[in-house]
Amino acid sequence: MAARTARPSLYISVDIEADGPIPGPYSMISFGAAVAGRQDGGSYTAADPEERTFYRELRPISEEFVPEALAVSGLDRDRLIREGAGPDTAMAEFRTWVREVSAGAQPVMCGYPASFDWTFLYWYLMRFGGESPFGHSGCLDMKTLYATKARVPLRAAVKGRMPREVLSRRRHTHHALDDAIEQAELMSNLMLWQP
């Protein structure tokens, strides 16, 4: 039997901002995405992380929020209630964007750390449209990637301990698109890094 060949992977850095610790009782209030790069077999090609991006601010889905969590993003909840995109619309637009940018490849969400962002993103994709372009497990955690390549415990995989050459030159601003772009650069640096 011939070996099955895998489709190339297109890594999409996603960052979300939320007004609480878990989706459902709390809301994802914004999210940004940036194409990081493409892996075909053993070859990885970095993308310009500013070239293909997506950003939406969302209308909250509940009355509950944690003021400290909301403050991190700097977004105004009252404005989001009035002007934020409906989650159904935003998730449909995001699915379309992911399919367009990943044509011919398997989209993979990547995050730093992926666990928080993936929890909200996957929940929203399933709750508002019942479908994820990433499947149920198409995510990659950059902390785990670094820990594996650097041969350090996961708890030691923090940006403050990473070599300068793998870090992004961009600031982490807590604006979801800025941070998705920053983390896309980190992803490419990690993929190309030879410790």
Q: At what angle do helices 142-150 and 176-192 cross, to 10 degrees?
A: 30
- List alpha helices for the chain, DSSP H: 67-73, 77-83, 87-101, 114-127, 142-150, 176-192
| Spatial distance between the Cα atoms of 27 and 185, rounded to a whole number of angstroms | 27
The radius of gyration computed from the CA coordinates of the chain, to the nearest angstrom, equals 17
Could you tell me which residues are beta bridge partners of residue 46?
37
Could you tell me which residues are beta bridge partners of residue 121?
none
Amino acid at 133: P
Q: Is 174 considered catalytic here? A: yes
Query: Quick one: how many helices (H) and strands (E) in the chain?
Result: 6, 6
Catalytic residue among 136, 172, 174, 175: 174
Query: Which residues are CB-contacts of 96 (< 8 A; sequence separation ≥ 6)?
Result: none
Active-site positions read 174
